[in-house]
Structure 1
Amino acid sequence: MLELIALFRAHRRALTAAEIAERLGASRRTIYRDIAGLQAMGVPIDGAAGLGYVLRPGFDLPPLNFTPEEIEAIIVGLALLPRTGDKGLVAAAQSVAAKIEAAQPARKRADVGASGWHAMPPARTEPALLRRAIREERRLAIAYRDGAGQLTHRAVLPIALIYYVDAVILAGWCELREDFRHFRLDRIEDCVLPGGGFAGRGEALRAQWNVALAREAETCGS
């Protein structure tokens, strides 16, 4: 519904349900339902099916407000992101913080901006590349130095990034070990996308990985 409002605000002319559905990747039935829902909530949308819809001028969204506890939770979460060394997420976190601060009453703005942004030293491998490989289900070729200092070259099917306070871990299927493995980003000395992928297998691999983690936890607890 927020995307609908944003779309209406960006266009001065009437938009048909078919146009809106194509832009938002939804069905016309969903668009009709959501427009009716917005109208029921008092959003001034004029028009009808088959004719098009337009948002009357002057409408604006209400200000975004949080309780003190909610602000503290947001601050803690955003402030931890720079410690991952992920420059893309750090930039996004700073943008989120700025938007939240701008939307708060003046007396609360100092609270939002009170947390410092202390980044960890950057890893050799940019986390944005790993996130892309996970999304697109692309194989990775990495050079990894383990805790004993031994360097190995691995072909990995990446399935998840795990963000801890002091480390970021890449989880994936290691073709060398023929099993799931976890790699600290600060020990990955080189990483490329050599070509090839595992399209359509990501969800199944994540399910198998979760089962393996559960079994490991049971073993450790017994």
Structure 2
Amino acid sequence: MHQKDRLIRIMKVLQSQSAPIAAEDLARVVGAPEPLLAEDIRVLVRRKIPVHGDAERGYLLEQAREAFTLTLTLDEMEAALMGAVWAVERGDPTVATAARMVVAKLARHLPEELRPVILESERQAVAKLPTYDGRMMRQALRTRAKVRMRYRGLKGEVTSRIVWPLVIAHADEVRVLVAWCELREGFRHFTLDQIEAIDVLDARYPTRRDKLLADWREYQERTGHRANV
């Protein structure tokens, strides 16, 4: 059995225990001899997984939020890292910072031979960090608040809009806000990098967000083209 598989099995067993489990019992459940089990425990400790005890007293896991990572398979960890690196590259600064923390936490549990690949991908992604901070827009999305924004069009013209933000979509290199625009009285797509300023208003828009999203999807299917700004 590969060490990665043993570590996952050890973590699952320890996470199910509320009292120390004897080394002999843990070795039997994991399917590994006790000397090999002891080495695996040392690996977990070096990775800062809070496993306490020894072969004589038994082993007990201090529950910690980061411990879940070792229950992921290698493919699952790689998929999670790919998503996090994508968020570092294309998210706004708040999301990108959180994504870099995810990359750092997951990378600690990767096999040594994969760490340089992940860290190099993360380093390249940081250089592409966008300048738009979407924290206020995400606040409006969560609270169904109207937003007043100053928007710069493709030809450089600047307009003031009051919109009802519905969702932020990611398409290749572009991040787009889907919203109902009071000025145009219809659904519109706004490129986030062209939003120059926003102000979250106290007013909430009257229609349920899920109803507006359903109407927007129906509009897209009916018209067969994306909404213009």
Asked whether 1:132 is paired with 2:139, we answer yes
Structure 2 stretches lacking a partner, 5+ long: 1-12, 20-58
Assess if the C-alpha contact under 8 Å between 2:146 and 2:163 holds in 1.
yes
1:154 match: 161
Assess if the C-alpha contact under 8 Å between 1:136 and 1:199 holds in 2.
no
Asked whether 1:119 is paired with 2:128, we answer yes
Asked whether 1:107 is paired with 2:113, we answer yes
Assess if the C-alpha contact under 8 Å between 1:85 and 1:122 holds in 2.
no
Asked whether 1:82 is paired with 2:88, we answer yes
Report the CA distance between 1:75 and its aligned residue. 4.1
Distance 2:155 2:114 in 1: 49
Distance 1:142 1:42 in 2: 49
Q: Which structure has the bigger radius of gyration?
A: 2
Assess if the C-alpha contact under 8 Å between 2:15 and 2:61 holds in 1.
no
Assess if the C-alpha contact under 8 Å between 1:84 and 1:164 holds in 2.
no
**1:36-51 alignment to 2 at 5 Å?**
43-45=16-18
Distance 1:92 1:165 in 2: 21
Alignment root-mean-square deviation, CA = 3.1
1:94-139 superposed Cα distances (whole Å, 9 cap, x missing partner): 111111111223333233323122224413xx21211111011110
Assess if the C-alpha contact under 8 Å between 2:165 and 2:178 holds in 1.
yes
Assess if the C-alpha contact under 8 Å between 1:138 and 1:199 holds in 2.
no
1:198 match: 205
TM-score (norm 1): 0.65
1:58 to 57, 60, 69: 60
Distance 1:45 1:130, change over 3 A: same
1:208 to 210, 215, 219: 215
Q: How many residues align?
A: 169
Distance 1:74 1:92 in 2: 13
1:98 match: 104
1:36 match: none
Structure 1 stretches lacking a partner, 5+ long: 1-39, 47-56
1:43-73 superposed Cα distances (whole Å, 9 cap, x missing partner): 1248xxxxxxxxxx81365724543x55554
Distance 1:75 1:189 in 2: 31
1:24 match: none
Distance 1:211 1:41, change over 3 A: farther
Distance 1:195 1:218, change over 3 A: closer
1:136-173 superposed Cα distances (whole Å, 9 cap, x missing partner): 11100011121122221111000000122322111111
SS across alignment from 1:80: helix
Distance 1:75 1:131 in 2: 23
* Structure 1 counterpart of 2:138, one-letter code: R
Distance 1:106 1:146, change over 3 A: same
- Runs of 4+ residues over 6 Å off in structure 1: none
